[in-house]
């Protein structure tokens, strides 16, 4: 195989893997939008908050330590425990459920029947509040996240491709794990929404709020449920991205990577989030590989949006989104 083709193949494979990482973030947006029509601006911050909480719980960090010390003149910092990753993840998932309950009780409940733009603005407020809360609770320093996920080049893939093509491909072990996790997550979400009672209720609310209410489905319960699931998805995304870069406040910016995925895949489709992620991942990486050197590089950020825009022009609802038909 010619050298350039080998390199392009490697770039494409890495693009697919990167796309999966984007999809993990996009999934959270889709879940909430599908069930409630809310574009959740806070989804990136949810991932940050979940990752901060996970590291804090795992390392036995005292939440609000700085504030406690300032008010009471104490010097508390750590509980002195180191929790196993599984326990810490389970506890963080519970925290995210608690957060979903609070969001519903304190924010969403009061905004029933409001226009989508009001709900969107509420999530902007929520994003900044959660970012501040995360800072006060766990501090702004960068934290190493170690839940035992492998990182670095996959030696097997490198040696197999090397023996086949004379060039060993680079695939990150973390990306492989992320792909497996994404497959499991999407399968679980699909099974849940298709075959469970709550899942059917969730779809009913997504289809028609009023009709769902008329058959006795509790809108408030569905909102708690969907925000809990989105919180869990945010936790998964936070783990993957946090393992890569450490847990820090720029983690909330991963939402920027999810937006073109949503534009392309549609705001209401779980498979759309996955396929959209893959297209964006591959598209931006290949563009940067072929065209980047001619125009100075650093094309990925803007090219992803341009690609999404092109799709949007031809399919405004996204590849898998539901076509909006309004009859007058």
Partner 1 sequence: MKMKFTALVAAGMVAAAPAMADLVIPNLSYRTGPYAAGGTPYADGFNDYFTLLNERDGGIGGEKVQVPECETAYNTEKGVECYEATKGNGALVYNPLSTGITYQLIPKVSADHISLYTPGYGRTSAANGKVFEWVFNYPANYWDGASVAITYLLEQNGGSLEGKKIALVYHNSAYGKEPIRTLTDLAKKHGFELTEIPVDHPGQEQKSQWLQIRREKPDYVLMWGWGVMNQVAVQEAANIKFPMENFIGIWWSGSENDVVPAGDGANGYKSLAMHGTGMDYPVYTDMKKYVLDAGKASGAGDQVGSVLYSRGMYAAMVIAEAARKAQEIAGTPAINATQMRDGFENLEITEARMVELGLPNFGQPFAATCADHGGPGAAMVQQWDATTKKWTLVTGFIAPDMEVLDPLVAEDSAAYAKEAGITERCN
- Contact residues toward partner 1 (CB under 8 A) are 7, 10-11, 14-15, 17-18, 21, 65-66, 69, 73, 77, 131-132, 135, 139-146, 151-153, 170, 172, 241, 244-246, 248-254, 257, 285, 288-289, 292, 296-298, 300-301
The answer to whether residues 61 and 52 touch, using CB atoms and an 8 Å cutoff, is no
Query: Which CB sits closer to partner 1, 55 or 108?
Result: 55
Dihedral angle computed from the Cα positions of residues 180, 185, 190 and 192, in that order, rounded to the nearest 10 degrees: 140
Query: Which CB sits closer to partner 1, 71 or 313?
Result: 71
| Rounded distance between C-alpha atoms, residue 305 and residue 307, angstroms | 5
Query: Which CB sits closer to partner 1, 37 or 60?
Result: 60
Query: Which CB sits closer to partner 1, 289 or 311?
Result: 289
Task: Single out the residue of 86, 89, 17 nearest to residue 236, CA to CA.
Answer: 89
| CA-to-CA dists, residue 323 to 3, 33, 201, 234, 270, angstroms | 43, 15, 22, 27, 15
Q: Helix crossing, 219-245 with 197-207: angle to 10°? A: 100
Element at 231 (helix H, strand E): helix 219-245
Q: How far is the CB of 37 from partner 1 (least distance, A)?
A: 29
Q: How far is the CB of 328 from partner 1 (least distance, A)?
A: 43
| Rounded distance between C-alpha atoms, residue 242 and residue 240, angstroms | 6
Q: How far is the CB of 314 from partner 1 (least distance, A)?
A: 27
Q: How far is the CB of 187 from partner 1 (least distance, A)?
A: 26
Q: How far is the CB of 135 from partner 1 (least distance, A)?
A: 7
Query: Which CB sits closer to partner 1, 111 or 160?
Result: 160
């Amino acid at each position: 195989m010619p050298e350039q083709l080998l390199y392009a193949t490697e770039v494409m494979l890495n693009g697919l893997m990167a796309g999966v990482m984007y999809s993990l973030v996009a999934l959270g947006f889709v879940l909430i939008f599908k069930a409630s029509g809310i574009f959740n601006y806070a989804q990136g911050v949810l991932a940050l908050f979940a990752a901060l909480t996970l590291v804090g719980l795992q390392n036995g960090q005292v939440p609000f330590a700085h504030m406690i010390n300032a008010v009471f003149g104490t010097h508390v910092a750590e509980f002195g425990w180191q929790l196993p990753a599984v326990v810490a993840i389970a506890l963080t998932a519970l925290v995210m459920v608690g957060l979903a309950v609070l969001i519903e009780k304190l924010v969403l409940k009061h905004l029933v029947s409001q226009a989508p733009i009001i709900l969107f603005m509420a999530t902007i407020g929520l994003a900044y509040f959660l970012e501040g809360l995360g800072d006060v609770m766990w501090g702004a320093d960068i934290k190493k996240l170690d839940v035992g996920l492998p990182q670095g080049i996959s030696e097997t893939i490198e040696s197999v491709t090397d023996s086949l093509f004379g060039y060993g491909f680079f695939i990150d072990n973390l990306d492989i794990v992320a792909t497996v996790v994404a497959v499991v997550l999407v399968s679980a979400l699909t099974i849940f929404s298709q075959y469970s009672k709550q899942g059917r209720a969730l779809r009913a609310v997504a289809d028609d709020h009023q009709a769902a209410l008329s058959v006795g489905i509790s809108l408030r319960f569905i909102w708690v449920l969907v925000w809990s699931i989105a919180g869990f998805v945010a936790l998964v995304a936070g783990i993957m991205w946090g393992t890569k870069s450490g847990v820090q406040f720029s983690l909330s910016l991963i939402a920027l990577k999810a937006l073109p995925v949503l534009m392309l895949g549609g705001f209401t489709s779980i498979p759309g989030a996955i396929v959209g992620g893959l297209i964006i991942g591959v598209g931006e990486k290949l563009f940067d590989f072929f065209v980047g050197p001619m125009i100075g590089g650093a094309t990925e950020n803007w090219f992803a949006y341009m690609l999404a825009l092109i799709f949007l022009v031809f399919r405004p609802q996204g590849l898998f989104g539901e076509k909006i038909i309004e009859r007058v």
